[in-house]
Amino acid sequence: MSSSILSEISVDMSQPTLLFSEDGHKVYWLGISHQTAFRCNVYLIHSGEHYILVDPGSPLHTAQVQQRVAQIIEPACITALVLCHQDPDVAASLPAWLELNPDLCIITSPRAHVLLPHYGCADYRYHDIEQHPVFDCGDGHELHFITASHLHSPAAFATWDPCAGFLFSGDIWAALSLDWTLVCQDFASHSQNMNMFHMDYMASNIAARGFVHKIENLPIKAILPQHGSIIPPDMVVDALRYLKNLQCGTDILYPELS
């Protein structure tokens, strides 16, 4: 299975959904199935001996995520968590995962790292994405981390998976809607759903354009946000244009100063 057939994938909410599999490298969507406009996506990357959860979510989601993980591997065998920033919908399940595996590696940014102890977690193995912007999966595959400051958190970063061509974008390209499909079907209507999130949450057009400048030459096959739908290959150019043109945050609050 490759990312090019993302649009043909059907979702069985009782199973992990395989999004990519090639050369021993797999990416799954694990949920969440909870019907809400603020739906959270949790992804699992399996590469070599690593099982890496991307944005595992809050205690509201832990039981379902661990159930989905258990259909692939023992939850205690998860080796790392990527926490794209410190928000509770991304990271509040951290103590539950550390309880299962105290050796878990926490991949995050320094500004998120200083706040994570407020979830009550003890010491943990910390991979600093600014000091070490590449994570070696040990099987010839890597994950690359790209800072995305002020989109929306100063701590935010995205994760680039070169093998799959997937960009795990956290809150960037997040969308809010009850009318949801795993893979985006219509970019024009999806833009309205992205506006619902971006106009209030994202800091400014400069922050958005600065991030696009960092990633626009990557061979991105799909964008996998933490909320809303996956953006498939034929809509990636539209998604980059959307972010470049985004008016949000301080652009809207203080138009006279823009």
Footprint of Fe ion (CB under 5 A)? 87, 89, 171, 226
Q: How far is the CB of 54 from Fe ion (least distance, A)?
A: 12
Residue nearest to Fe ion (CB): 87
In sequence order, the 6+-apart residues with CB closer than 8 A to the CB of 109 are 85, 128, 129, 130, 147, 155, 156, 157
What phi and psi values does residue 148 have, to the nearest 5 degrees? -140, 55
Q: How far is the CB of 249 from Fe ion (least distance, A)?
A: 13
Of the pair 92, 220, the CB lying nearest Fe ion is at: 92
Of the pair 163, 230, the CB lying nearest Fe ion is at: 230
Of the pair 35, 217, the CB lying nearest Fe ion is at: 35
Of the pair 161, 171, the CB lying nearest Fe ion is at: 171
Find the DSSP H helices in 101-204: 110-113, 187-201
Q: How far is the CB of 227 from Fe ion (least distance, A)?
A: 6
Of the pair 2, 36, the CB lying nearest Fe ion is at: 36
Q: How far is the CB of 88 from Fe ion (least distance, A)?
A: 9
Q: How far is the CB of 89 from Fe ion (least distance, A)?
A: 5
Q: For residues 47 and 144, what is the distance between their CA atoms, to the nearest angstrom?
A: 14
Q: How far is the CB of 58 from Fe ion (least distance, A)?
A: 10
Reduced to 3 states (helix: H, G, I; strand: E, B; else coil), residue 14 is coil
Q: For residues 63 and 73, what is the distance between their CA atoms, to the nearest angstrom?
A: 15
Q: For residues 215 and 218, what is the distance between their CA atoms, to the nearest angstrom?
A: 6
Element housing 243 (H / E): helix 236-245
Of the pair 187, 197, the CB lying nearest Fe ion is at: 197
Element housing 207 (H / E): helix 205-215
Q: For residues 75 and 68, what is the distance between their CA atoms, to the nearest angstrom?
A: 9
Q: How far is the CB of 97 from Fe ion (least distance, A)?
A: 18
The residue among 31, 3, 5, 16 whose CA lies nearest residue 180 is: 31
Of the pair 90, 236, the CB lying nearest Fe ion is at: 90
State the pairing for strand pair 25-31/17-22: antiparallel
